[in-house]
Amino acid sequence: MVEQSLVEQVSVQEKILAFTFDDGPHPVYTHQVLEIFRRAGGHATFFMIGKEMEAYPDIAAEVHREGHEIANHTYTHPNLTELTLEEAGEELRQAERLVQEVTGNAARSFRPPYFGVNDDILALAAERGYRTIGAVNGGAQDWDNPGVEHILEHTRSVVKPGSVLIFHDGYGDRSQTVEAVRVLVEELTAEGYRMVTVSELLRMAE
């Protein structure tokens, strides 16, 4: 049985962490994020919305081709706790089908939009074989465009080995996020961190 809790941090022996990006793929910002990780030689996990994958299948395919992980962020981005369990299951199922079309495999991780979960949603995700993924730097609130310095400050203060970090590459202007991620990736790489996918991070957890 898959563990039923929101994973934000795991215990690891080495300096690794997982950058994650929600709400893409996006024709501008996803490419910019890919370029940052290409230069750093790291990988990230993209929690993609099914409808955006339908709109930009080539970008989703490029993310996969470059060795990044694609994970489930539902089909239309609703708050799942406001739906019936059947509707919530359908949101997961439709997104799952699209991830499978792009990658050839089922997604292993799921992030609920707005972190909207309860015991029923956690159980539903676990039944479908998902680990439900949170993040340690929710205070960065990059989705609100609070400024590059705010994003940096509220991420630097919580980063440690085994952290999962949340950012957004879709829906709206994400230039602040991209700039903050560029700085963070350079800093963390210089500190000896490796950027891995969520699945790799979970595999290496003690």
Catalytic residues: 22, 168
Q: How far is Cα 84 from Cα 69, in angstroms, rounded to an integer? A: 29
Do residues 143 and 180 touch, judged by C-beta distance below 8 A? no
Amino acid symbol at 13: Q
Following DSSP, what letter does each residue of 105-149 receive, concatenated? S---EE--GGG---HHHHHHHHHTTPEEE--S-GGG-GGG---HH
Residue 167's DSSP bridge partners are 21
Do residues 112 and 7 touch, judged by C-beta distance below 8 A? no
